[in-house]
Amino acid sequence: MTQYVAAGFTVTELDRDGGRTLSLAGELDIASAPTLEAAIVRIHAESVRSVTIDLTGLTFMDSTGLHAIVYADQLYKRLGYRFALLPGPPAVQRLFEITGLIDVLTFAAGGSSSHIG
């Protein structure tokens, strides 16, 4: 287990089911997004083939945080990795709905990947 910490934000990197999970907690915003991006790049350097970002512990996410999630999606898909998100609380999910990304990004539900929308 590896942890990345910024003021009010933590990324916990866990090995799960032959892949990697990044569990996010706190506020993902302009101040903390570089912390998530560092974890995303680190996983890429390790050539992990399956990545899940767990949004359940987020209390807030702004457009910079959303950009970091889209960056991960584009990077991992380009590399042929399986990539999914575990949905966050309603306020976080609302950002995906407002931007239309709810229909573009893959959200895991009940252990299998599916689009929510």
Is pLDDT of 114 > 50? no
Strand partners, 14: 21
**Number of domains making up the chain:** 1
User: What is the residue whose two structure tokens read 């609302």?
Assistant: 94
Residue 93: inside a domain: yes
Residue 117: inside a domain: no
Region of 47 please: left (phi>0), alpha (psi -120 to 50) or beta.
Answer: left
Give the DSSP H or E segment for 22: strand 19-28
Residue 98: inside a domain: yes
Residue 47: inside a domain: yes
Q: Which domain holds residue 89?
A: 2-109
Q: Residue 49 sits in a domain of what CATH number?
A: 3.30.750.24
pLDDT in tens, 9-43: 999 999 887 799 999 999 999 999 999 999 999 88
Burial class (CB in 10 A: 0-12, 13-18, 19+), 55: buried
